[in-house]
Structure 1
Amino acid sequence: MAGIKTLGQFILEKQADFPYAKGELSRLLRDIGIAAKIVNREVNKAGLVDILGDVGSVNVQGEEQKKLDVFANTQFIAALTCGGECCIVGSEEEDEFIAIDSPVSVDAKYIVCIDPLDGSSNIDCNVGVGTVFSVLRRKSVEGKATLADVLQRGTEQVAAGYVVYGSSTMLVYTTGKGVNGFTLDPSIGEFCLSHPDMKIPANGKIYSINEGNYMNFPEGVKKYLHYAQSTDQATNRPYTARYIGSMVADIHRNLIKGGIYIYPTTTCSQDGKLRLMYECNPMAFIVEQAGGKASDGFRRIVDIEPKDLHQRTSIYIGSKEMVEMVEGFLAEDKAASGLKVKVG
């Protein structure tokens, strides 16, 4: 154990860095870590028990719920309810937010928005999946917390993180003081600090996008893909396409190696597809803290004013120079479209 630092030890050491530090956020993060271990256990033995496949219900997003989706949702809500530090849980799997009304949560100050199991359609194929969470501090000071407490810009997040369940299980989080990664050591059942002060390269050679939707992409995205696939030794092109189909796994890889993850608007999904509160805001907070950039193509993701709990958005996230390159193509296309309309 010499030299090993567990997640619990690290959180306690950094507690003084937390806003309004009184230990509540430390305990909240530890509760999430415990629930992640339970979900990890079930993910790892999914092929051995009756937990694969659909449960026959559809969530608020219109997506078929997988059995592990439901299990993960239950575990994280239970951990956050019992912990006493959380007054509201907003889950991608629930139609409405869950107000925690229990004696231990009377003075709870924090709100958690969570995607309990991102990429769960990959479970049956033994492909990496993950959990994404965002922590907000409630704004109201009296009475029960409301939807207005939840609908805060990403700039108001006090913590965010993700867990990637893959060849190894990692928990990565930030409280606005850099990004740190912890790998689960199954021999001792603890997340141990393995990736301190994570930084994403300013540029990279990997782009992650579902090119099956190419015909429905904005013209600016099509132009960027042409740029990425063109040969130019000076800029290390062509780039390499890597797309897992799990946002957590794709962004985790790009965070380590450098790259960009793109999920644009399409002619079929003109507001974008990924959820602002559960996926895009927390990932944007993490990537920005690691030195990267997250945009909807024209503005920072964390600057978007949320209007709805399940609001969707496009996202371009990863290495700073790569995101700015896409933004340039989108801006050119927007300017050209505007000029054509004006002349017409």
Structure 2
Amino acid sequence: MQYLANAKPKGAAIPSGLQDLLLAVVNTCTALSDEVAQGALIGLLGSAGSGNVQGEVQQKLDIIANDQLIAGVKDCKALAGLASEEMELPLPVQGTGDYLLLFDPLDGSSNIDVNVSIGTIFSILKKQAPQAPLQTADFLLSGRHQVAAGYVVYGPQTTMALTLGDGVVMFTLNQATGEFVLIHDAVTIAHSTKEFAINMSNMRHWAEPVRRYVEECLAGTSGTRDKDFNMRWIASMVADVHRVLSRGGVFMYPWDQREPHKPGKLRLMYEANPMSFLVEQAGGASINGTKVIMDLQPTDLHERVSVMLGSKDEIDRLQQYHS
């Protein structure tokens, strides 16, 4: 990508090792985009008949995406190791660099068979002890340590959002050339919105602050908010967050009382941190209810978290209700 060679986030060129790693991720996602588009034509739909470390049923494309991402980046010399939502433990690689890659290979995979947008989410950290053998603890850094994060959404167009800590840029894949083309060089999220995304069928299970917020939105102009809201829900985080980055809004996947011992459903390292990085860099905000997600100190590679992100004024209101 020409962008990686020429961009100067925070006034400095992107390190060559980071460029190589990002390019390896992008090239793999380009190939995945083609396979997702063919779907049933090449026998990729349906369950794989296995479960992942999360105890979730894997789709065929979950496994294929995971394997292809590993194969696509493992020879990158800048990479010290990688971790995936689909694997219990991190995977050391032969590289001599100090970058760590975390990814959700195929977010929203329950939507594969019904042809709804799905995607790949990735996060890149710097290994704090480059010479030491790879350990799980190397990955357990707060979101503030991310040097890059992004996602690729496989929809009507294949689109990538990327941040290197100096704003958010967005690209669309040119299917004819196989290249990602820059379409937005400064993505911003409006501070106010009239749109929210949440699974309303779970309303009876939410904590009171979330229920209060949603009830006020539903009351529209007759309620305390004095404006009508629209509700959206795709059940694919990558697609829902892409909408927030594209036109504003709020996305919520909160804690609920059906599994009270779990702080949330989404994974901090593979989903919440990279998406929070993107949203913050676009001028939005992201919290788990009371705390800023990017400030959370992870204690487990597959830690779960409640997520509320998007337009800053609305997230501030949600945090105030939780307080």
Shorter-chain TM band:
over 0.9
Deviations 1:29-71 (CA, angstroms, capped at 9, x unpaired): 1111000001101100002121101111100111100000101
Aligned to 1:36: 29
Structural mapping, 1:271-286, within 5 Å: 271-286=263-278
Structural mapping, 1:192-207, within 5 Å: 192-207=181-196
Give distance in 1, aligned partners of 2:84 and 2:322: 32
Aligned to 1:316: 308
1:111 to 82, 86, 100: 100
Q: What amino acid is the match of 1:228? A: C
Alignment gaps of 5+ in structure 1: 1-7, 332-344
Give distance in 2, aligned partners of 1:81 and 1:64: 26
Q: What amino acid is the match of 1:48? A: L
* Secondary structure at 1:294 match in 2: strand
| 1:259 and 2:252 correspond | no
Structure 1 residue 84 displacement after superposition: 2.2
Give distance in 2, aligned partners of 1:304 and 1:16: 25
Aligned to 1:3: none
Give distance in 2, aligned partners of 1:16 and 1:273: 33
Structure 1 residue 151 displacement after superposition: 0.4
Aligned to 1:56: 49
Aligned to 2:321: 329
Structural mapping, 1:58-207, within 5 Å: 58-100=51-93, 102=94, 105=95, 107-207=96-196
Q: What amino acid is the match of 2:247? A: K
1:290 to 260, 269, 282: 282
Length-normalised TM-score, structure 2: 0.96
Give distance in 2, aligned partners of 1:294 and 1:127: 25
Structure 1 residue 240 displacement after superposition: 0.7
Instruction: Please identify runs of 4+ aligned residues in structure 1 that moved more than 4 A.
Output: 15-21, 233-236
Q: What amino acid is the match of 1:114? A: F
* Secondary structure at 2:27 match in 1: helix
Alignment CA distance shift 1:19-1:300 (3 Å): farther
Which region of structure 1 is more displaced relative to structure 2, 9-18 or 150-159? 9-18
Structure 1 residue 18 displacement after superposition: 8.4
Note if contact 1:210-1:243 (Cα within 8 Å) is conserved in structure 2.
yes
Structural mapping, 1:200-239, within 5 Å: 200-232=189-221, 237-239=227-229
Note if contact 1:135-1:159 (Cα within 8 Å) is conserved in structure 2.
yes
Alignment CA distance shift 1:267-1:18 (3 Å): farther
Alignment gaps of 5+ in structure 2: none
Give distance in 2, aligned partners of 1:261 and 1:148: 30
Structure 1 residue 175 displacement after superposition: 0.6
Give distance in 1, aligned partners of 2:9 and 2:227: 45
Give distance in 2, aligned partners of 1:22 and 1:58: 38
The total of aligned residue pairs comes to: 320
Structure 1 residue 173 displacement after superposition: 0.5
Structure 1 residue 17 displacement after superposition: 4.8
Give distance in 2, aligned partners of 1:176 and 1:79: 24
Length-normalised TM-score, structure 1: 0.90
Give distance in 1, aligned partners of 2:304 and 2:159: 26
Q: CA RMSD in A?
A: 1.6
Note if contact 1:294-1:317 (Cα within 8 Å) is conserved in structure 2.
yes
1:46 to 29, 39, 48: 39
Answer with 1 or 2: which has the greater Rg: 1
Aligned to 1:241: 231
Deviations 1:264-292 (CA, angstroms, capped at 9, x unpaired): 11112331010000000000000000000
Structure 1 residue 22 displacement after superposition: 3.7
Give distance in 1, aligned partners of 2:164 and 2:279: 12
Give distance in 2, aligned partners of 1:244 and 1:16: 32
Note if contact 2:97-2:130 (Cα within 8 Å) is conserved in structure 1.
no
Q: What amino acid is the match of 1:238? A: D
| 1:301 and 2:266 correspond | no
